[in-house]
Amino acid sequence: MAQLSEQEIEFITRCLREGKPLPDSYRYIIPFESKKEYELTYADKEREEDILADTFAVPLQPVKTFGSNGDGWANMLIFGDNLQVLKTLMKMKQEGKLKNADGTPGVRLVYIDPPFATRQEFRGSQDQKAYQDKIMGAEFLEFLRKRLIFLRDLLADDGSIYVHLDWKKAHYAKASLDEVMGEHNFRNEIIWCYKGASEAKDRFPAKHETLFFYAKSQLTSFNYDAIRVPYKDDNKKPAKWGEGEIYEKHPLGTKCLDWFSDIPSFMTASQAKEIIGYPTQKPEALLARVIKASSNPGDLVLDAFAGSGTTGAVAEKLGRRWIMIDCGKLAIYTMQKRLLNLKKEIGNKGKPLKAKPFTLYNAGLYDYQKLKQLPWEEYRDFVLKLFQCRDEKHRIAGVELDGYLGADDVLVFNYQKYKDAVLDRGFIDDLYSILGDKIGRRFFIIAPAASVMFLEDYIEKGSTRYFLLRIPYSIIDELHRKGFTHIKQPVSEMDVNNTVDAVGFDFIQTPDVECEYYLGEPKGQVGLGHSGRGAVIRIKKFESNIISKKPLHYENLKTLSMVMVDYSYDGEVFNFADVFYAEDLKKQDYEIRFDSNKLDGQMMIIYIDIFGNEKREVKRLKDFRSKGV
């Protein structure tokens, strides 16, 4: 670093004090981050160090484990914002809790198919639309880059990552991948090409997608013989690609090149058993090739945009461990159903396959009742993580404290031990009389909201502010200077893959739902080909209950996202059969109609709001009263 003059120091100080950016010329005077010889530049791009430090890590709350856990590992299906979850997984790796079967820390293979909300319509001039596209493009790149930074650090030293994109933003993402992963670690640009109908008239039809393959380091291995394309018949004639036959004679089959033309995109009758109706679903054969090439049995495979769950389904069939993350309730229930109804062969064929144990977790949206039922040490550990506190017990003036938030002391109020005690002003007075000036300017107390007897976020005593971190009510704005944002659930099929960055955490607040259940004559499409009576669910009231500092009021039905139905609920696992989006329900006067013959025993209906909260109802045929339609 060059020697700074007094004038330069004064100028820099003034800029920092006034929040003004420093001129680019100071890049050569002050050691800015300069490890990149070149990099992609766009608005609101954050420093890598800030992304790693400032991202909120959310603890994982187990909801349900499917199957018994035999070897100490259960595969992970996680509902939550993937950036916050990746920060948590990174901490698990650092603590030695994220391993492959051979004991290697980290994830051996990452595959992601990140969404890009291209269906949003922007009305305006061509210049305005071009500008809007640039803004959306920059937002998407930063959204992706943040996740790539964590995914890179989650990889094992010999791990690999595949990023699946279409033609719209692939090459911008390639520049970002070179920056994050290192251009020297780039292995392949794989082109997956396929056939199908197209309406394009002013250009060549777009019939390919791109997978960028990067290694973590030079240690990364590649299983080439595992991905040879089988010969088509006993005469060992390979599939024809273009003009002529491009292959290498080998007992295992033809050589697989960096363009895949032998995997159709759900356009053939042979794939019918595999299709589950989820937007952006990818063929199992495509994931099988990636997983076989860059991992071995027992290795850990991660998909942070899991969607329909193809990655986990194929990893399960190929004997890999897996972690899947998604912020959509539709995706979570789709994956849960898929994993519980697997077939052994790729393409969802063959005999049934029982999935190895997997646990469904909530990350960022929690069940407070389950939290309260935890044993004290588990509760204490969870709430410390919830507020990003370090678990370091220590004593000051004889008072046992639980950890630190930054450099400040933290006390977890033991409401289980002191059942009759309350956190009132007298409690704070007593703490102050003991601790006095032995603590810093901030002191944090984590406690259930019901135990706190005053409304303020903090009470000031001497030079110290005693902050109350209430559960389930939180003061994230005060702590992190970032506004809390919820995960957003879609209201139409077009919105399923829209991206939203969630910040912080919340607790489940069951919506208020009132419905009318009745039977009548089949109506419209429901009545075609059905002999039973029409069953109708008419939603009369749907209101969300959101805890907020500022009172929030939403009109009736405005926060409804979707309704999911399992017509044959077994009392244990919700195995959804139909989903009804709010936008479609609005056009149908908020009526759900189905053939009553579908109702086999009992059904479960889940009403979901745009924040991910659920209201569950179990109904039998007798609960639907007769009524003329």
427 in Cβ contact with 435 (< 8 Å):
no
Flag whether pLDDT at 124 surpasses 60. no
Alpha carbon of 444 to those of 246, 294, 459: distances in Å? 67, 46, 11
Instruction: Report the pLDDT averaged over residues 184-210.
Output: 88
Q: How do residues 139-187 score in pLDDT, each as one tens digit?
A: 889 999 999 999 999 999 999 999 999 888 888 899 999 999 999 999 9
Helices 310-317 & 284-294 angle (0-180, nearest 10): 60
Which is more confident, 195 or 4? 195
499 falls in which pLDDT band (50, 70, 90)? Answer: low
Q: What's residue 526's pLDDT? A: 46
Peptide bond into 472 cis (omega under 30): yes
Q: What is the mean pLDDT of residues 587-607?
A: 93
- pLDDT, position 450: 86
Whether residue 134 is predicted with pLDDT greater than 90 in this model: the reply is: no
pLDDT-based confidence at residue 79 (cuts at 50, 70, 90):
very high
- Residue 550 confidence (pLDDT): 65
Higher confidence at residue 32 or residue 403? 403
Whether residue 510 is predicted with pLDDT greater than 60 in this model: the reply is yes
Average pLDDT over residues 373-393: 92
- Of 151 and 268, the structure prediction assigns the larger pLDDT to 151
pLDDT at 529: 47
Greater confidence (378 vs 485) lies with 378
CATH class label, 54-198+209-221+263-363: alpha beta
Tell me, letter by letter, the H, E, C secondary structure of 98-157.
Answer: CECCCCCECEEEEEECCCCCCCCCCCCCHHHHHHHHHHHHHHHHHHHHHHHHHHHHHEEE
Closest CA to 369 of 479, 508, 533: 508
Highest mean pLDDT among 46-55, 124-133, 284-293, 592-601: 284-293
Q: What is the mean pLDDT of the chain?
A: 85
pLDDT in tens, 294-310: 999 999 999 999 999 99
Mean pLDDT value across residues 132-139: 71
Q: 487: closest CA among 308, 364, 325, 331?
A: 364
Q: How much is the pTM?
A: 0.85
Give me the mean pLDDT over the 32-60 stretch: 80
- Parallel, antiparallel, or unpaired: how do β-strands 464-471 and 107-112 relate? unpaired
Q: By mean pLDDT, which of 146-155, 311-320, 427-436, 527-536 is the weakest?
A: 527-536
Residue 568: both structure tokens together = 């044959």
The whole-number average pLDDT for the span 112-127 is 63
Residue spans of the domains in the chain: they are 6-32, 54-198+209-221+263-363, 375-480, 509-626
Q: Whole-angstrom Cα distance, residue 17 to residue 20?
A: 8
Contacts of 85 (CB under 8 A, 6+ apart): 58, 60, 78, 304, 325, 363, 364
For residue 190, the SS3 value is strand
Give the amino acid at 467: F
Map tokens 């036959």 to a residue.
245
| Residues 509-626, CATH architecture | Sandwich (2.60)
Buried b vs exposed e over 90-103: b needs ≥16 C-beta within 10 Å?
A: bebbeeeebbbbee
SS3 429: helix
* pLDDT recorded at residue 244: 42
Q: Are strands 591-595 and 534-543 parallel, antiparallel or unpaired?
A: antiparallel
Give the pLDDT score at 352.
95
The predicted model gives 240-255 an average pLDDT of 57
- List the structure tokens of 263: 């995997």
What percent of the chain is predicted at pLDDT more than 90?
56
